[in-house]
Structure 1
Amino acid sequence: MSTSLAVSGVPFELTPSQGSKWTVAPDRVEVLAPAHSDLFVDPSGESGTAAETMLNAVTLLGAPGAGDFVFSARVGADFRAMFDAAVLLIWADERHWAKLCFERSPAGETMVVSVVTRGVSDDANSFTVDGDAVWLRVSRIGRVFALHASTDGDRWHFVRAFALGDDIGDVQLGFEGQSPTGDGCAVWFDQVSFARTTLGDLRDGS
């Protein structure tokens, strides 16, 4: 059985996925994503089920409880292969989840990418990042989730807003690392913050 971990800045415990080995320090969270690990439901129907790919993704998740929140972290990765990524993850069930990624693109650039899964996955590229780290933020406003990213931790850029579905109950929230096409990827998270507050303006990032 996995042991829950306490992460500074997060007021609820987080549980690592089976077999994953997260390192939690006072100011940093790290994990090595294994080779060919991912969390994605191919809309063509040709990949495995979300349950199968979830078993191969390294996650660290906990239940934030009811109500609005704002969750953020600076994230980085030892990018080696296409789609290596450090991720903030919202998880309802194996067919309803969303991730905000700092990811290596097929062109070798590092980008902010989002994936929303409602039965199958819908992914979209946001913007490229000139550097080895970026701030990511996930917020809940009623039944709506909003994703933002920042290159300086101050000015936030809107990525997307969405709802996971009418019948979605409690969600889990936390971190993920992935290396879908590579031989593994070290990912890290610091400056982690969770606040039970309501985002002022969904699209301008205030």
Structure 2
Amino acid sequence: MARAVGQLGIPRIPVSLRWEGEPASSYRMTDDGFEISAGPGTDLFIDPQRTAVTLNAPHLLACAEGDFLLSARVQVDFQSTFDAGALLVWLNDRAWAKLAFELSPQREPMVVSVVTRGTSDDCNAFVVDGGQVWLRVARVGTAYAFHASTDGAYWRLIRHFALYASEVPSYGFEAQSPTGAGCTATFDAIAYEPRRLLDLRDGS
């Protein structure tokens, strides 16, 4: 089970965020955001074949009422397969979703999404040509949308999905290193807007 380990404030996020999962091995504010360093063997994933449950990746969460947009530019010091930095939507440890900038087994940085409803799925989106990508999560009524952008301006729809509607969601940030000795994810250019995204597919 995830556990809270403290609260802190993030620029442009209107509420305090709390640590869940294993504490990050280090956390550092930057000029325009922050870094999260994950330790070895850290992940958020419930294997679809029910052979493994790993929920120990450090993540920062805040509760969200109503519709919202949360975006950030993400960079990761990729070392090992599946090292990643991600945005999260979190209801509980069996209902959550992440949109990640992740290193593939082919050593390619990719946009990857995972939606968990009891067990996790795993969906690759596209390879990123470069060391950074912008990620965004939107709540739209009882559903959610994940978008990614290579320039911070035009947004590609990655997933449109629903989780259970009975709980108030949290949103936030995660770093992971499932197969490696650890990695650091940098989140900056962070933006939060308490509004509904009107068109999921027009690139805005």
TM-score (norm 1): 0.93
More displaced stretch, 125-134 vs 13-22: 13-22
2:191 to 180, 193, 203: 193
Q: Could you tell me which of 175, 183, 192 is aligned with 2:173?
A: 175
Q: Percent identity?
A: 48
Aligned to 1:6: 9
Cα offset, 1:19, TM superposition = 2.6
Match of 2:113 in 1: 114
Q: Which runs of 4+ in 1 moved over 4 A?
A: none
Specify the alignment match of 1:162 in structure 2: 161
Q: Look up the match of 1:19.
A: 23
- Give the letter for the 1:79 counterpart: F
Give distance in 1, aligned partners of 2:31 and 2:109.
Answer: 27
Partner of 2:58: 58
2:44 match: 39
- Give the superposition deviation at 1:60: 0.8
**AA at the equivalent of 1:14:** L
Aligned partners of 1:125 and 1:134: how far apart in 2? 15
Counterpart CA distance in 2 for 1:112 and 1:161 is: 15
Structure 1 or 2: larger strand share? 2
Matched, 1:128 2:127: yes
Shift of 1:86: 0.5
Q: Deviations over 1:118-146 (max 9, x none)?
A: 01001100011011110000000100100
User: What one-letter code is carried by the residue in structure 2 that aligns with 1:6?
Assistant: G
Q: CA deviation at 1:23?
A: 1.8
Instruction: Provide the C-alpha distance between the structure 2 equivalents of 1:103 and 1:129, rounded to a whole number of angstroms.
Output: 10
Q: Residue deviations 1:78-130, cap 9 Å, x none?
A: 00111000000111001000000000001010000000000100110001101
Aligned to 2:33: 28
Gaps of 5+ in 2: none
For 2:202 and 2:142, how far apart are their aligned partners in 1? 19
SS in structure 2 at match of 1:165: coil
Could you give the per-residue CA deviations for residues 46-80 of structure 1, whole angstroms, max 9, x where no partner exists?
003xxxx22x211111112x211000000010001
Name the TM-score, length of structure 2 as normaliser. Answer: 0.94
- Which consecutive unaligned segments of at least 5 residues does structure 1 have? none
Kept after mapping to 2: 8 A contact 1:27/1:190:
yes
C-alpha contact (below 8 Å) 1:8/1:26 kept by paired residues: no
Displacement of 1:24 after TM fit? 2.5
RMSD over aligned CA atoms reads: 1.2
Q: Secondary structure at the match of 2:5?
A: coil
User: In the aligned structure 2, how far is the partner of 1:70 from the partner of 1:185?
Assistant: 26
